[in-house]
Amino acid sequence: MKKISIIGAGNVGAQVAFLATIKELGNIILVDVTEGIAKGKALDLQQATPLLQSSVKIQGTSDYQEIKDSDIVIVTAGVPRKPGMAREDLLATNAKIVKEVVSNVAKYAPQCILILVTNPLDEMVYLAKKISNFPKERILGMAGALDTARFQMFIAEELKCNPHDVLATVLGSHGDTMVPLPRFTTVNKKSITELMPENKLSGIIERTRNGGIEIVNYLKTGSAFFAPASAIIAMVESIIKDQKRTLPCCVELSGEYGYNHVLVGVPVVLGRKGVEKIIELPLNQEEKKLLAKTVEHVKSHYPDIDKLLR
Ligand code: APR
């Protein structure tokens, strides 16, 4: 059995643990600063295993020594948004939390593949990369898989088709500047630009960009967790089973798309080694401009993060 550690046993962390248990992806360590939350949810989940016919072992703790030799560590520790907040408003609070968490991951599980989930996502992956110094194959952020799923679902609803038949891609940061790519989004081999009028498409793109806040506004006290956890599990499953699925993830670019030393969402092949390949799509001028905007936006936060590290 592989060993999967989940840091932060809140809404997203617990749901990831539940799905990983159902799919028997590995034994699970749930870590939370509030020990009772980790222990209580781990015990509850363990008691579900006879019913789920899962042979996974789940343990809750606040002791980072327990994550030793993890194959994958998923960081969901941090505070979620409240209505009226942008993901960037979480930067100062969550950067402190992620700094502490990733220092512990680098100390106790230096060989793991590290997946960041805490928002603001792209900035947290940059911070984690700086702290851990993990090779770029083993550090990535979950956002694009979720944004793409939202895009696919809205398109399927509009076209009254099966979401599985929507092949979509979303590039860039997990925020207002994300770049859904209609030209590369097809249903039964036809581009959606041919399948729906311009105004419908731009409405769907806008709703995808605001996909997170739409849910925050309903929940009031927290943010989305079913779809985020499902996106994380798609990534984890592809890595553990060496499925080599292509999913958009936040990774470090080294020349791809013309950028260096920037961590932003692009399609990648995920396998046993982590990020096995970055897929470069042939973007047109307009798409390149949108990607440049999202890159600039993410990079504009790097000096603040660098300051936190001093
Ligand atoms: N170490 C470990 N766990 C921590 C720490 C820390 N330093 N600080 C906070 N936590 C834990 C909290 O105790 C809580 O159980 O992180 C958990 C976060 O859970 P929720 O508040 O339910 O938040 P959740 O919805 O899971 O979102 C977590 O993921 O999607 C993003 O924007 C979201 O940044 C947020 C993160």
Give me the CATH number covering residue 94: 3.40.50.720
Same domain, 134 and 155: no
Same domain, 153 and 288: yes
DSSP character at residue 78 = S
Same domain, 46 and 98: yes
Pocket lining for ligand 1, CB < 6 angstroms: 7-13, 32-34, 37, 76-81, 90, 94, 97, 100-101, 117-119, 222-223, 225, 228
List 164, 174, 297, 301, catalytic entry: 174
Same domain, 99 and 158: no
Contacts of 139 (CB under 8 A, 6+ apart): 113, 114, 116, 125, 128, 129, 132, 251, 252, 274
pTM above 0.85, yes or no: yes
pLDDT score at 86: 84
Same domain, 175 and 301: yes
Nearest to 118 by CA among 80, 71, 62, 173: 80
pLDDT score at 82: 86
52 CA to centre of ligand 1 in angstroms:
26
pLDDT score at 89: 87
Give the chain's domain count. Answer: 2
Same domain, 280 and 292: yes
Same domain, 136 and 148: no
Ligand 1 atom with least separation from CA of 90: 34
Ligand 1 atom with least separation from CA of 14: 26
Range of the domain at 81: 3-141
Same domain, 196 and 291: yes
Structural domain ending residue among the three candidates 88, 107, 141: 141
Cα angle: 131, vertex 111, 10; to 5 degrees: 65
Query: Rg (Cα) of the chain, in Å, rounded?
Result: 19
Contacts of 236 (CB under 8 A, 6+ apart): 4, 16, 20, 25, 72, 74, 115
Domain of 277: which CATH number?
Answer: 3.90.110.10
User: String of b and e for 133-166 (b: at least 16 CB within 10 Å)?
Assistant: ebeebbbbbbbbbbbbbbbbbbbbebbeeebeeb
Cα 293 from chain centre: 21
Structural domain ending residue among the three candidates 96, 126, 141: 141
Same domain, 168 and 277: yes
Known catalytic residue at 301: no
Same domain, 200 and 63: no
309 CA to centre of ligand 1 in angstroms:
21
156 CA to centre of ligand 1 in angstroms:
31
Contact 3, 70 (CB under 8 A): yes
pLDDT in tens, 266-296: 999 999 999 999 999 999 999 999 999 999 9
98 CA to centre of ligand 1 in angstroms:
10
Structural domain ending residue among the three candidates 82, 116, 141: 141
pLDDT in tens, the chain (310 residues): 999 999 999 999 999 999 999 999 999 999 999 999 999 999 999 999 999 999 999 999 999 999 999 999 999 999 988 898 888 889 989 999 999 999 999 999 999 999 999 999 999 999 999 999 999 999 999 999 999 999 999 999 999 999 999 999 899 998 889 999 999 999 999 999 999 999 999 999 999 999 999 999 999 999 999 999 999 999 999 999 999 999 999 999 999 999 999 999 999 999 999 999 999 999 999 999 999 999 999 999 999 999 988 8
Same domain, 94 and 222: no
